Amino acid sequence: MNARPLLLALALAGAARLSAQGFSALPRSTPERQGISSSAIFAFVQAADTSVDAMHSFMLVRHGKVVAEGWWGPYDAKTPHMLYSLSKSFTSTAVGLAIADGKLSLDDEVLKFFPEDAPAEPSANLRAMRVRDLLSMSAGHQTEAALWSWSGAPSTRNDRLTKTFLAHPVPFKPGTHFMYNSPATYMLSAIVQKVTGSTVLDYLRPRLFEPLGIENSTWLVSPQGFSVGAFGLMGRTEDIARFGQLYLQNGVWNDRQLVPAAWIAEATARQTSNGSSPSSDWDQGYGYQFWRSRYGYRGDGAFGQYMLVLPAQDAVVAITSGVRDMQSVMNLVWDNLLPAMSSGTLPEDVATQRALQAKLAGLTVRVPPGRRTTALAARVSRRWYDLPANDRGIQAIALDFTSGSPALLVRAAAGESRTPIGIGSWVRSRTGFTNGIDRLLSVPAEPDVAASGAWTADSVFTLKLVAPETPFYSTLAFRFDGERLLLDSEHNVNFGPTKLPRLEGKAARRR
């Protein structure tokens, strides 16, 4: 069978997905033309789909061409996704560019940039802390400085977070003790802004984002007006892939040297030791805001945001997800994709290519399993249940099963909201209820919400709320017991507890 029609379809599909973003997509190819079998990619996608809760997106680039890509609905190609600590690799790049511009050096002392925030009597270790120590996560700290609350944005608009950082004890000689340290990355962002006069986001726009075709980027800003640096950057799956491909190409993009090759080599090399386990991808050494992996190197972010760069295989893998076990996702790549990458082309396998495309096109985040309705549905539909004071601000709650579109109804101090619910499918809305997801670290204000629900027992309706710009979803179980409603809910992942306090509602009097 001729593979050309399928290759054309791949190219057109990739272009269509990215056309809304205003720039051309990376070139597309069949897997076999780039030396990897479609059957191996199918096995990876199948394993990820069945064993990982929850994958959001996947893109595989080989020899500079996208050979497979997929999004688990309601996630899609055009919606930016929170990158969390994958942001750090972009901050590192800003530092490298500022060094190339002659604005600073690796051996500059950190105190030099913040004389107004320095302690009255800085310790010898603080005086010795250099830019390279911040980059390599070896600033000399034993604990992180308390720059922000992990349940939301930095605490007050008057905080000088740089002063808080410099006041934090430095018990170890900088450069001798590895400790993963997001506040250190914040200081790098502050330093770049001090020496360039631009936030890291604004500094990178003309130098990195625009040449790569990365548009409409946003980055969380601190009370001091600095890009947070350590997290807070939003990006699409292809943005991640482009950034990884730039690093794979030693900083060259469309015949332009965007980032010095020497910086890329140094930033991705092992600068400090961080463990000794041969089976852990967190024990292979750390560069300048890049992790060394068992294979190649990577940038990654909390709950499964990955940019895997594989120089030996000339490949990049971009993944977004919402997982608790980040190692398990990398293991799937190492076990399924890596062994399948050969040096030459392979015979086209059109049948498997079509099966792979069908699989990728039909991916979806798992919906609650169950029935569309029960005998109880009509009795509880649109019946409000008053709730006691709670941390989510819900005053009363109801489910509507009588209209053409099922919905969750929530009353709060700010008013009443209606969140459409898909039964066995996802329905996305701009102003839906998030069950507290909007208050988690660096989540955008008023995020989009997608909802799906089902009756999982005669008296239990289970609702799943996904925020497609984030790694998060929340599962709510409505247990109806006469005049009572017991509402149990849990987030899939969180920096703190995932289970939320049970709420017990009482049926309101019918009007």
Domain residues of the chain, as ranges? 81-300, 377-507
Mean pLDDT of 347-357: 98
Lowest mean pLDDT among 316-325, 379-388, 403-412, 471-480: 403-412
Supply the pLDDT for residue 19. Answer: 45
> Is pLDDT above 70 for 450?
yes
> Is pLDDT above 80 for 12?
no
8 A C-beta contact, residue 253 and residue 233: no
Mean pLDDT of 170-177: 98
Supply the pLDDT for residue 359. Answer: 98
> Is pLDDT above 90 for 159?
no
Per-residue pLDDT band at 23 (split at 50, 70, 90): low
Supply the pLDDT for residue 6. Answer: 53
pTM of this prediction? 0.94
Length of the chain: 511
Supply the pLDDT for residue 9. Answer: 53
Structure tokens at 404: 């053409």
Supply the pLDDT for residue 511. Answer: 52
> Is pLDDT above 60 for 183?
yes
Supply the pLDDT for residue 412. Answer: 94
Q: In the CATH scheme, what is the code of domain 81-300? A: 3.40.710.10
* CA torsion through residues 82, 47, 274, 496, sign: positive
Beta strands in 63-159 (DSSP E): 65-71, 81-82
> Is pLDDT above 80 for 68?
yes
Per-residue pLDDT band at 148 (split at 50, 70, 90): confident
Mean pLDDT of 167-191: 97
> Is pLDDT above 80 for 451?
yes
Supply the pLDDT for residue 3. Answer: 53
Helix (H, G, I), strand (E, B) or coil at 297: strand
Mean pLDDT of 368-392: 96
> Is pLDDT above 80 for 470?
yes
* Class at the top of the CATH hierarchy for domain 377-507: mainly beta
8 A C-beta contact, residue 281 and residue 330: yes
8 A C-beta contact, residue 476 and residue 379: no
Bridge partners, 410 (sequence order): 397, 417
> Is pLDDT above 50 for 28?
yes
Supply the pLDDT for residue 154. Answer: 46
The more confidently predicted of residues 50 and 150 is 50
Per-residue pLDDT band at 21 (split at 50, 70, 90): very low
Of 29, 18, 38, the C-alpha closest to 63 is 29
**The dihedral formed by the CA atoms of 30, 35, 36 and 39, expressed in degrees to the nearest 10:** 70
Name, in order, each residue with C-beta under 8 angstroms of 153's C-beta and a sequence gap of 6 or more: 220, 442
Per-residue pLDDT band at 153 (split at 50, 70, 90): very low
> Is pLDDT above 80 for 157?
no
Mean confidence (pLDDT) of the chain: 94
Supply the pLDDT for residue 63. Answer: 98
In the block, residue with structure tokens 């600590």: 85
